Chain A
């Protein structure tokens, strides 16, 4: 099992501030996915990154995959209360291994 460490575990910020969540591992991942999970619901896929150094932007969210494909970050610009939730990173090992290994998650709270 490949381990993914997320930091910080908790993050509380004021509306309009920026935030960054990190996902790190000693293992190489063939792909890495970011999800957001609301209480009582399943994870919702935000983005998939597969190429080392890749950067993807989704409105106010920017996702980056490290050059060595061992780490990733999620940056939110001008956070809004609707961004509140549990952010999870998950990775797949080699290209023939489709099972996801999840990080423990970062709980983000955006105060109005």
Chain B
């Protein structure tokens, strides 16, 4: 039973480019969460999605960041016009009921 999958594992972007991070939840899980772990900081909630719906985006920066979880395919976290401060590890988690969350291995984004 495959766990949460994220790709790419490492992503390097230059300032001003776009970053697309993908997350495939565990089989049967319809709840997806994105978290960000900045260097020397703890994990911070960004957004909570269910299929085709954003449930809670209270942790998302207001500009340049967006997330989706389409009916088919993985969840996507999109960062437009990246800046150096976006460099971080981005983790996706999925849940069957919304309760216990299982995390993927993360995408390490480096902005040059």
Binding site for B on A (CB under 8 A): 31, 33, 35, 40-45, 48, 88, 90, 92, 98-105
Q: Total number of A-B contacts with CB less than 8 angstroms? A: 58
- Contact call B106/A99, Cβ cutoff below 8 A: no
- Contact call B99/A100, Cβ cutoff below 8 A: no
Within 8 Å CB of B4, what residues of A? 42
Within 8 Å CB of B106, what residues of A? 40-42
Within 8 Å CB of A101, what residues of B? 45
- Contact call B91/A42, Cβ cutoff below 8 A: yes
- How far apart are A91's CB and chain B's nearest CB, in angstroms? 11
- Contact call B100/A43, Cβ cutoff below 8 A: no
Interface magnitude class on chain B: 20 to 34
- Contact call B31/A43, Cβ cutoff below 8 A: no
B33 at the interface (CB under 8 A from A): yes
- Contact call B99/A31, Cβ cutoff below 8 A: yes
- Contact call A88/B100, Cβ cutoff below 8 A: no
- Contact call B59/A99, Cβ cutoff below 8 A: yes
- Contact call B42/A104, Cβ cutoff below 8 A: yes
List 24 A-B residue pairs with CB atoms under 8 Å apart, sorted by A's residue number: A33-B100, A33-B101, A40-B108, A41-B105, A42-B6, A42-B103, A42-B105, A43-B91, A44-B103, A45-B101, A45-B102, A45-B103, A90-B43, A98-B31, A98-B56, A98-B95, A99-B48, A99-B56, A100-B33, A100-B45, A102-B35, A102-B43, A104-B41, A104-B42
